[in-house]
């Protein structure tokens, strides 16, 4: 009887050790805000676009794009949920001298959400 009990315990131990896990983790997303910058056809009004993204007041991204091929842009911003994100997008003419006032300017603010979200910034000629 003792031999039979030991063999049953051994089989049970092997079955537990070899069983597959049924625990499934859901998709995990980290806090992220994607800044999406796009424009309608701005013609000759805007040739260069300057994008500055700040995270809690510190510059996180500073890029330039030439139109028409330089947009749309997606700029991922990661950090802690709740951190403030400020975006400034300015557009100038391709042949404008440095320091000239931008032809179009957009400001946007948001906070980093707990999971990935999009902050869309659209440059439109009617707002120039």
Reply yes or no on whether the pLDDT at 15 is more than 50. no
Tens digit of each residue's pLDDT (9 = 90 or more) over 97-126: 988 999 999 999 999 999 999 999 999 877
Reply yes or no on whether the pLDDT at 24 is more than 50. no
| Terminal Cα distance for the chain, rounded | 91
What would be the CATH architecture of the domain defined by 32-127? Sandwich (2.60)
pLDDT recorded at residue 28: 56
Between CA 45 and CA 58 the distance in angstroms is 30
Residue 36 corresponds to which tokens in the numbers above?
């999406």
> Is 32:77 a contact under the CB 8 Å cutoff?
yes
Reply yes or no on whether the pLDDT at 1 is more than 50. no
Q: Give percent helix, percent strand, percent coil of the chain, each to the nearest 5.
A: 15, 45, 40
Q: What residues does each domain of the chain span?
A: 32-127
């Amino acid at each position: 009887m003792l031999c039979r009990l030991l063999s049953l315990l051994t089989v049970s131990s092997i079955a537990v050790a070899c069983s597959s896990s049924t625990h499934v983790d859901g998709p995990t997303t980290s806090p992220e805000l994607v800044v999406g910058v796009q424009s309608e056809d701005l013609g000759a009004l805007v040739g260069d676009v300057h994008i500055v993204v700040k995270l809690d007041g510190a510059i996180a991204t500073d890029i330039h794009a030439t139109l028409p091929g330089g947009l749309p842009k997606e700029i991922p911003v990661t950090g802690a949920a709740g951190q403030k994100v400020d975006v400034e997008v300015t557009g100038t003419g391709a042949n404008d001298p440095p320091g000239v006032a931008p032809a179009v300017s957009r400001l946007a603010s948001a906070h980093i959400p707990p999971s990935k979200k999009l902050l869309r910034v659209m440059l439109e000629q009617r707002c120039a």
